[in-house]
A = this chain, B = another copy of it.
Amino acid sequence: MDEKYVKQLLEMEGQELKLTEKKVNILVAAIEIFAEKGYSATSTSEIAKRAGVAEGTIFRHYDSKKDLLLGITKPAILKMVVPYFASQMVEEVFKDEITSFDGVLRAFITNRIEFVRKNIPLFKIVLQEIAFHNELQETFQESFLNQILPKISETIYIAQKSGRLKDFSIPTTLRFIMSTVMGFIITRFLIMPEAEWNEKEEIDNMVECIMNGISKNN
């Protein structure tokens, strides 16, 4: 993890992230340890030690330990949730190109896998802490539920109307897709990261499973 990585990942829209070397060290250390032991079980002194800064320095950059957590996780949630879906391409494809539905699905899966691969500790932190911090749930709400979900929903709706997908409710269809993808990602990167994985084949299988599961059979 280097400065550029941290910068592009944690910078939020509309505000530049000022990064001294010390601040990068703090962020990197915090991400590592939060992921290892959980937010609550991590002490600021341990972060300072691993970051190679004085204990007080953390509090020059963040008002509190919680503030540090949010400074890490809020932008991370946005980057995890938004980017792919936000692109115009997706909408187009979902809406219009019958033949490429599974292609789009494959692209989405591949894209999210690559994102998590590069951000495993961050992914783990968000997964763990979103249950306990309202601010994170709200961030998720505001980005995914308010911005992304409507677009996807519309897309699925159209696909259903056009006769390609079964008439499961939209949340159900979406949950089916997301469960399958998240189930793979969590197994792949958190539960059994050491196992040998044939990712290409797994992706193929997921696409096939999902398509068979939610598509109309003719």
Using a CB–CB distance below 8 Å, which chain A residues touch chain B? 37-41, 124, 128, 131-132, 166, 168, 172, 175-176, 178-180, 182-184, 187, 190, 202, 205-206, 208-210, 212-215, 217
Whether the pair A217, B212 counts as a contact (CB closer than 8 A) is yes
Complex: A39 Cα to B208 Cα, angstroms: 40
Find the residue from A176, A209, A215, A217 having the highest chain B CB count within 10 A. Answer: A209
Look across to chain B and name the residue whose beta carbon is closest to the beta carbon of A209: B213
Complex: A124 Cα to B132 Cα, angstroms: 11
Residues of B contacting A180 with CB < 8 Å? 176, 179-180, 183
Whether the pair B131, A205 counts as a contact (CB closer than 8 A) is no
By secondary structure, the A interface counts as helix
Distance (whole angstroms) from the CB of A9 to the closest CB of chain B: 22
Whether the pair A179, B183 counts as a contact (CB closer than 8 A) is yes
Complex: A120 Cα to B212 Cα, angstroms: 32
Complex: A191 Cα to B184 Cα, angstroms: 20
Given contacts A38-B40, A128-B128, A172-B205, 5 further A-B contacts (CB under 8 A): A38-B38, A39-B40, A175-B184, A175-B187, A176-B206
Residues of B contacting A38 with CB < 8 Å? 38, 40, 131-132
Residues of B contacting A183 with CB < 8 Å? 175-176, 178-180, 182-183
Residues of B contacting A37 with CB < 8 Å? 132
Complex: A208 Cα to B165 Cα, angstroms: 13
Complex: A176 Cα to B204 Cα, angstroms: 13
Complex: A190 Cα to B178 Cα, angstroms: 16
Whether the pair B168, A205 counts as a contact (CB closer than 8 A) is yes
User: Contacts A38-B40, A183-B182 known; A176 to B131 CB distance under 8 Å?
Assistant: no
Residues of B contacting A39 with CB < 8 Å? 40
Distance (whole angstroms) from the CB of A160 to the closest CB of chain B: 13
Look across to chain B and name the residue whose beta carbon is closest to the beta carbon of A171: B187
Residues of B contacting A175 with CB < 8 Å? 183-184, 187
Distance (whole angstroms) from the CB of A127 to the closest CB of chain B: 8
Complex: A217 Cα to B41 Cα, angstroms: 50
